Structure 1
Amino acid sequence: MTLVLLLLAFTPFLVGAGNQAKVDFNRFFLDRTMRIDYYHLGDNQQEVIALDKIYDQGLWAGPVKTLIDPFMRGRYCARVYDQASGQLIFARAFDSLFGEYKTTDEALKGIKRTFQETVLIPYPKQKISLAIEVRDKNNNFHQIFSQEIDPASIFIIKEKPESGVKVYELLKSGPPSQKVDLAFLAEGYTAAEEGKLKQDLDRFVAVFFSQEPYKSLKNKFNIYGVFKPSAESGCDEPGYGQFKQTALGCSFDSLGSDRYLLTDDNRRLRDLASNVPYDALMIMVNHNRYGGGGIYNLYCTFTTDNQWYEYLMLHEFGHSFTGLADEYYTSQVAYNEFYPRGIEPVEPNITALLNPKDVKWKKLLTPGTAVPTPWEKEEFDRFDLAYQKVRQELNERIARMKREGAPKDEVTKLEAESEKLSLEQGKKVEEFLARSKYAGKVGVFEGAGYASTGLYRPAVDCIMFTKGAKPYCPVCLEAVRQMIKFYSD
């Protein structure tokens, strides 16, 4: 059998190619999507990519006017070159679950893991070269994979979307290539819970459009709900010793963080999502426990029935859609040196402040604001770190009781205590930050990106910093607007 997909030697012209002249979509692409699935494996020191399968899949939902990513915010980048001319015809940066894994303790110990990943590109008319690049610790891209792909190959899969899936068209504003196509994927809803699913979809769409800039730009969105019934309600909770058969296999305790809720079953995710054109995916998890996650240009997750459900969805979508960084730094995470010291992060809402005279959001700085900007950090750290310690102890007690089969009423009582403390702390934090001298102003505030020192955020408070019903700060707001414009122009 002749191999249709040939692994190429690493060629210099593929590495580090910058933005080129505007690409004519109709010259190089069809109005369809090529889905390229691959395996990404390794540890902290090594990573390897191996091709899995390629699919011809539905209409192209992405922009057709701007095919070269103008933001380049992710730690990885997929670049597509016309094989005949060598011209760069498509580029998109992204983050990945493997990219997060390689910063964990396991990866640092040399424990290798394999993750499924996908790159979506417009369907090419002629042979292409696909290159995947990764940033080094200085944030420079280096190629780690290259593959020739023949779009006429008989081995490209042209299957219809799986049966037994229901699609709800929640908002239709225009053609997919001219709008942000957002798909809510239902996770952990049984067939008997379809009524709850519909109510949850309506509730979260309403929450989404209550927040700026989505509210003012509602006509830039198409929104779908996608439902494949799960055999069981909820999702996996390994820390509690509980596992469920669900549509997407979502699980708490991802990468060792109890509240981190992800799926590593990329194939199931992409198969389900293929029922609609999409630019962004939200996985709506039918659960009442606090948890979620968001990975840039991959997906976000959030639980539906926690008291912080509004914050969870909007915060996590900020990660997955716009590439916003976490601005908090007092709660535990599974990462080690997620942002290397002395290197400017690529995210738009945090900075290492390597040049105080050239802050990345200097155009939005409140006039007269000092850089860096003093704030009540010492007092905030004191009371929030004390709460985080209590919260962690409570979570560990709850997990232990569930694993050991403690009486349900005792567990429920402790869970209620934890939720009450969380709500009280959220109000305390919000009131404290609202009293700050710099509340509502754009400055450069130390403490961001999981680091108490050395990284800075634009505002004393923002939905990317603390819990609650609150807006994006002006810097995050502008970044979201730019991303919406990119997809809808």
Structure 2
Amino acid sequence: MFKKFVLLFLLIPLFLSAQVNFRQFFADSTLRIDYYHIGDAAQEMITIDQYYLQPYWSGSLQHLIDPFDNGKYYIQVFDSVTKQVIFSRGFNSYFGEYQTTSQAKKGIKRTYHESALIPFPKVPVVFRLFARDRQNKLNLIFEQTIDLQKIQISKENRAAGAIVFKSHYSGDPHKKADIVFLSEGYTVKDSLKFKNDLQRYTRVLLNKEPFKSYQGKINIYGVFKPSAESFCDEPTHEKFRNTLLNCTFNSMGSYRYLLTEDNRTMQDLASAVPHDAIIIMVNQQRYGGGGIYNFYMDFTTDNLYSENVFIHEFGHSFAGLADEYYASSTAYDEFYPPGVEPTEPNITRLLDPQNLKWKKLVEPGTPIPTPWRKQEFDQLQIDYQKKRQRLNQEIAELNKTKADSALLAAKKKEADDLAKAFNKKVDEILHKDQYSGKVGAFEGAGYLSTGMYRPMLDCVMFRNGDKPFCQVCAQRIREVIEFLSE
């Protein structure tokens, strides 16, 4: 067990980042610190795996200190002599999500592989990793002095054999938000499909505000390396494929949750290009995806809602946005503790209504909390979720028994038609509401029907469909792009 130390400062203002002279402390490359994150709901520990030199530092040379106070975890790098904080980042992790599950609360320990990417230090530094407790206080869980003259660093090309595409290039990676799409479930024969999918989803992202208005501050790359087999693992369908990044549905027991635990291979592949954000593009038709803040996201390419899922999950991984929905099933058990304000910018416990975190966007006269047709929506959701769960089970059974393809296709179409009809009815409820298009505090968010509030009635982070980010989410995305591109 590590002795815990409460972090005395949770947020360092953005302007302080200008006080860190990048060239004084860092070389223009990346030190990747791989480690194992081990524990359960009550305990966690860190053990170092390996240090790697990666050829690119893609982050800003000006903004080295994280100003967002978001994420369950937080890394800080100190100059070992002056004790000055010279780099910091907040993030979430797979292990952090596991801690909220019933298995973790039963004391079942698991090990996850993770990485911290920091500018390559010229001087000995102290690396610290903090974790938030249930009150969102940051506590030190790991500390390591790193003297590059005394440790072994792997310097080989970890992305050898990968093919790189520049899908959208605006200039110097230090002054851009750099995004990389990684191939998953694409065989050698699927290489052209990967290129076409890369172009398609580049357009999807850059046609979505606020990314559309910031195209000149964004670089997008694709990195292709073939898998032995197409698609990805589907455990409930008893389908297992040999793929490069080992993505799988049913992550943490959730039917549609798609993630990978193969962090090492993912980081190796991403090292082929400068990157601030990792997107795993999975060559698969089934609905699903996942996104973890400042870690990675993945999504499937060929579903009816693939474009919507892609944008939604990127909101998680790129900007640290919370889920605003509350009716769909998840693997989490009390993800947000009662009486504690979440760190995410787009949901609130409304513990202090007079100081709503997005109050500057609320029009005078808007009631807080803001009434809406919640009871009507909730009943519609209950009916839909029951039908969707039944169809998911039927589709899984048809896959297991290798049923006739026409029968399976008909059942999938029934599921798609159900989703379309549901979204049409929801549109009628939300768009005719008195406060449609207004910023307020609408109850129902963050997997909770009561006691948690979202900024607007509708948003990419609330439900599927072709809709914009709400004003609060869009504002945070703009802030992240600016942070990375100055």
Question: Which one of 140, 144, 148 corresponds to residue 141 of structure 2?
Answer: 144
Task: Decide whether the 8 Å contact of 1:439 with 1:459 is kept in 2.
Answer: yes
Distance in 2, matches of 1:47 and 1:13, equals 16
Distance in 1, matches of 2:480 and 2:409, equals 42
Structure 1 position 417 matched with structure 2 position 410: no
Question: Which one of 12, 23, 44 corresponds to residue 19 of structure 1?
Answer: 12
Instruction: Tell me the secondary structure at the aligned position of residue 269 of structure 1.
Output: helix
Structure 1 position 439 matched with structure 2 position 436: yes
Structure 1 position 429 matched with structure 2 position 422: no
- 1:477: which partner in 2? 474
Moved more, 18-27 or 312-321: 18-27
- 1:325: which partner in 2? 322
Aligned pairs for 1:167-186 within 5 A: 167-186=164-183
Q: CA deviation at 1:162?
A: 3.1
Aligned pairs for 1:91-130 within 5 A: 91-130=88-127
Which digits, 9 at most, give the CA deviation of each residue in 1:88-134, with x for residues without a partner? 11110000000001111111111111100000000001111111010
The letter of the residue matching 1:19 is I
Which digits, 9 at most, give the CA deviation of each residue in 1:360-387, with x for residues without a partner? 0000012211000000000000011110
CA spacing shift, 1:11–1:396, aligned 2, 3 Å: closer
The letter of the residue matching 2:331 is A
Structure 1 position 288 matched with structure 2 position 285: yes
Task: Decide whether the 8 Å contact of 1:289 with 1:305 is kept in 2.
Answer: yes
Question: Which one of 239, 243, 249 corresponds to residue 242 of structure 1?
Answer: 239
Question: Which one of 29, 33, 36 corresponds to residue 33 of structure 2?
Answer: 36
Task: Decide whether the 8 Å contact of 1:302 with 1:309 is kept in 2.
Answer: yes
Structure 1 position 316 matched with structure 2 position 316: no
Distance in 1, matches of 2:263 and 2:116, equals 11
CA spacing shift, 1:118–1:453, aligned 2, 3 Å: same
CA spacing shift, 1:71–1:195, aligned 2, 3 Å: same
- 1:303: which partner in 2? 300
Which digits, 9 at most, give the CA deviation of each residue in 1:411-464, with x for residues without a partner? 222122112111221222123211111111101000000000000000010111
Distance in 2, matches of 1:81 and 1:379, equals 53
Which digits, 9 at most, give the CA deviation of each residue in 1:137-157, with x for residues without a partner? 110000011111112345111
Unaligned runs of at least 5 residues, structure 2: none
Instruction: Tell me the secondary structure at the aligned position of residue 39 of structure 1.
Output: strand
Distance in 2, matches of 1:451 and 1:17, equals 26
CA spacing shift, 1:433–1:244, aligned 2, 3 Å: same
Q: CA deviation at 1:23?
A: 1.2
Q: CA deviation at 1:484?
A: 0.5
CA spacing shift, 1:15–1:57, aligned 2, 3 Å: farther
Moved more, 124-133 or 390-399: 390-399
The letter of the residue matching 2:435 is Y
Structure 1 position 353 matched with structure 2 position 350: yes
- TM-score between both structures, scaled by the size of structure 2: 0.96
Task: Decide whether the 8 Å contact of 2:300 with 2:306 is kept in 1.
Answer: yes
The letter of the residue matching 1:335 is Y
Which digits, 9 at most, give the CA deviation of each residue in 1:245-283, with x for residues without a partner? 111111110011111111110000000001001000111
Distance in 1, matches of 2:212 and 2:44, equals 41
Distance in 1, matches of 2:409 and 2:268, equals 37
Instruction: Tell me the secondary structure at the aligned position of residue 117 of structure 1.
Output: strand
Aligned pairs for 1:195-214 within 5 A: 195-214=192-211
- 1:78: which partner in 2? 75
Q: CA deviation at 1:401?
A: 2.7
Distance in 1, matches of 2:30 and 2:9, equals 25
The letter of the residue matching 1:333 is T
- 1:4: which partner in 2? none
Instruction: Tell me the secondary structure at the aligned position of residue 216 of structure 1.
Output: helix
Which digits, 9 at most, give the CA deviation of each residue in 1:149-197, with x for residues without a partner? 1123451111113322100011221111110000011111111111111
Distance in 2, matches of 1:371 and 1:154, equals 55
Q: How many residues align?
A: 482
The letter of the residue matching 1:191 is V
Distance in 2, matches of 1:73 and 1:246, equals 33
- 1:367: which partner in 2? 364
Q: CA deviation at 1:359?
A: 0.2
Distance in 2, matches of 1:10 and 1:395, equals 46
